[in-house]
Amino acid sequence: MVTNHFPNLFQPIQIGPLKLKNRIVMAPMGTNFADPEAPGFISERHRSYYGERAKGGAGLIIFEGTRVNPKRMARKGGPDLHSDQFIPGFRKLVELIKAGGARCAVQLSDRGRVGNLKVDFSGRFDASDTKEGEYVGASARPHPMSGVVAEALATKDLEEIAGYFADAASRAKSAGFDAVELHGAHGVLLNEFLSPYSNKRTDQYGGDLQGRSRFPLMVVRRVREALGDSMVLSYRMSVVEFVEGGLEIGDSILFAKMLENEGVQIIHVSAGINETPSAMNRTIPPMSFPRGRLVGYAEQMKKALKIPVMVVQRINTPELAEEVIRDGKADLIAIGRALISDPYWPLKALEGRSDEIRRCCACNQGCMEKLVQEQSMTCLQNPEVGYETLYASLKKVEKKKKVLVIGGGVAGMEAACVCAEKGYQVRLVEKGDQLGGLALVASVIEAKKEFAGVVEFLENRLKKLGVEVRLNEEVTAQGVKEGRFDEIIVATGSIPITAGINLSNSACEIRLAKDVLENPQNLGREVVILGGGSVGMEVAEYLQDLGKKVTVIEMRDGICSDQGPLNRVDVIERIEKTSVAILLKTKLLEVTANGMRISRDGKEGLLKCPDTLVLAIGVKPNPLPLPAEGRVHTIGDCREVGNAMDAIHGAFQVAIHL
């Protein structure tokens, strides 16, 4: 018999006609998996992705935000339910989810003024989708990034939109869904009307809370009528918006009581407005934000309501989820990114295998950074996202192989694990005394400490799979020859680039970024960091916390140009709260006994020499030449310098196809 290690989390709950086997709900999160050749329709990737998570043990799966209004902007790769032609695809998906053991809901949405927050890697907003007649909202307000002004919806439009929601709900019923969730959070249309920040109307649909609630309640009534008594109705809301003049918890509680009176059966507590990368970080927080930050708001909701309350945001461990349910702070736990990372999170928790959970580290690199650039979602740690069925077939092999992996960073560890999962005999050799490489080094920073969980998971996985791991060992050509390996995977990482700068007469100590993070001793009080990329800024934060006086010199016009828009703005906002000095568009020419000669805006100057100069200007591949004894493959930074996601995904692709 399986011992239930989390009795409150895995306690069933009855909500109207719907009985859930546990309190774990897969939160609705966009995937951009729709087939470009068949926009809006359910794709094979949808079926693979949601089918796997249904088998993973969640009680309820809420399918991602789905467009109900044919007049509104379509999200590239997003699903539609504004026509009967979409019902058959949804019906097959529902059957698949239920066959996996989960119940299922669909979230219905009209994105309103927020529209499609599409930015490029550098964070520049793409306003190409803000077409005249399609870009509408509660009020004629400009988008904070593009400045494009939304057209205020006329009163006659509101009845039509409510009808679109009701029609989509009827289609969801026909498709076999157990529940419908209305998206009233994150700045979408229903949220817009409720919020004093975005609703500046002077008619009956604006003004006080009663007026601002009028349209969302109209939609709720129409949808409730369409669903009848056989389906559950959930409402997702931003109970706080984290903007000046935005919704606060007091009004949200009053509105939730109105929803309860209108037949809503679940209040899904979320927060924020997806207007800008900075605002989005309050909606789907990066790892620098605390876990479970909305639980207190959910608790206030629960005290005021009779219906179940669901809470979301960075509840990524079963221990925390159990605590929230046990203490009566919420009735349901909505989990988004953690189920992207590991679809079997619930089942592993139930079976007491929490140490095997591939824990989401909230890096946002594979999910949110991709989605805002209108690319398909993936996950830094889980390269199988959206291709689970395909990769399951590739793991079934007839011929067993003997594999040597050289290098114990995340690329080498991932490759070794995948090869072992295929049944190969694997040896992993690392010249240092620990595994993890640069990912482990990065985790010493407070804001990135959850990166240690990535390494911890891979280490546990290696042990469970029985991979032979050798630390403190150098690989030699003779050893490779004697091992008679069928496949050799080289993951020897990178080495720092040293500046093409005259440092010979330097009056300060010269250190490398990696060395400083591993051993910050004897740096002195004043430190200059050469390089304002992600590594340089990690060092800057770390040394700032240690009480150093830090200056960063960067040749470009901004910091962290190697990071996506969400993570970049997170770093910028953290740095702005410190005393770190940043010199942009600045080139270091020479370090002498007299000082640091720099060039800025075409003019040369001299800075005082610090106690220590830290080089963080990048790395280059560090390949390991090997004789052709078996097939040799290079992965990770020793093949091409990238980030942790590049390393893990590249390693996976090589290993899965061996």
Q: Taking residues 226-250, what's their average pLDDT?
A: 97
For the ranges 415-429, 530-544, 594-608, 642-656, the lowest mean pLDDT is seen at: 594-608
pLDDT band at 605 (very low <50, low <70, confident <90, very high): very high
pTM: 0.94
Q: Which of 470-474, 481-485, 596-600, 622-626 has the highest mean pLDDT?
A: 470-474
Mean of the per-residue pLDDT values of the chain: 93
Structure tokens belonging to residue 27: 């939160």
Q: What is the dihedral of CA 53, 426, 423, 636, to 10 degrees?
A: 40
At 132 the pLDDT is 65
Nearest to 308 by CA among 250, 265, 269: 265
Question: Is 453 exposed, middle or buried, given 0-12, 13-18 or 19+ CB atoms closer than 10 A?
Answer: buried
Find, among 72, 69, 64, 59, the residue nearest to 90 by Cα: 64
The pLDDT of 245-249, averaged and rounded, is: 97
Instruction: Count CA within 13 A, CB hemisphere, residue 613.
Output: 26
Residue 117 has pLDDT above 70, yes or no: no
Question: Using CA atoms, how far apart are residues 502 and 109, in angstroms rounded to an integer?
Answer: 59
What CATH superfamily is the domain 13-389? Aldolase class I (3.20.20.70)
Domain ranges of the chain: 13-389, 398-494+629-656, 509-617
CB 446 within 8 A of CB 545: yes
Cα 485 from chain centre: 38
CATH 3.40.50.720, domain 398-494+629-656, yes or no: yes
Residue 146 has pLDDT above 90, yes or no: no
Give Cβ neighbours of residue 583 (< 8 Å, ≥ 6 apart): 551, 552, 553, 554, 598, 600
Instruction: For helices 87-99 and 44-55, give the axis angle rounded to 10 degrees.
Output: 30
Question: Binning pLDDT at 50, 70 and 90, where does residue 398 land?
Answer: confident
**In angstroms, rounded to a whole number, what is the distance separating the alpha carbons of residues 356 and 367?**
21
Are the folds of 398-494+629-656 and 509-617 the same? no
With bands split at pLDDT 50, 70 and 90, how would you rate the model's confidence at 145? confident
> Rg of the chain over CA atoms, in angstroms?
27
Residues 384 and 616: their CA atoms lie apart, in Å, by 33
| Dihedral Cα 322, 325, 326, 328, nearest 10 deg | 160
Q: What does the alpha-carbon distance between residue 469 and residue 262 come to, in Å, rounded to a whole number?
A: 60
3-state secondary structure 87-99: HHHHHHHHHHHHH
Rounded CA-CA distance 156/540 in Å is: 55
Q: Which value, to the nearest 10 degrees, does the dihedral of the CA atoms of residues 502, 504, 507, 509 take?
A: 90
What is the rounded CA–CA span in Å between residue 79 and residue 90? 10
Q: 427: helix, coil or strand? A: strand
Which tens digit of pLDDT belongs to each residue from 45-86? 999 999 999 999 999 999 999 999 998 777 788 999 999 999
In the prediction, which pLDDT does 125 show? 77
Q: Are 171 and 163 in contact (CB under 8 A)?
A: no
For the chain, what's the residue count? 658
Percent over 70 (pLDDT), the chain = 97
- Domain covering 509-617 assigned CATH 3.20.10.10 in the classification: no
The pLDDT, as a whole number, for residue 629 is 57
Give the mean model confidence (pLDDT) for residues 194-209: 97
pLDDT confidence of residue 586: 95
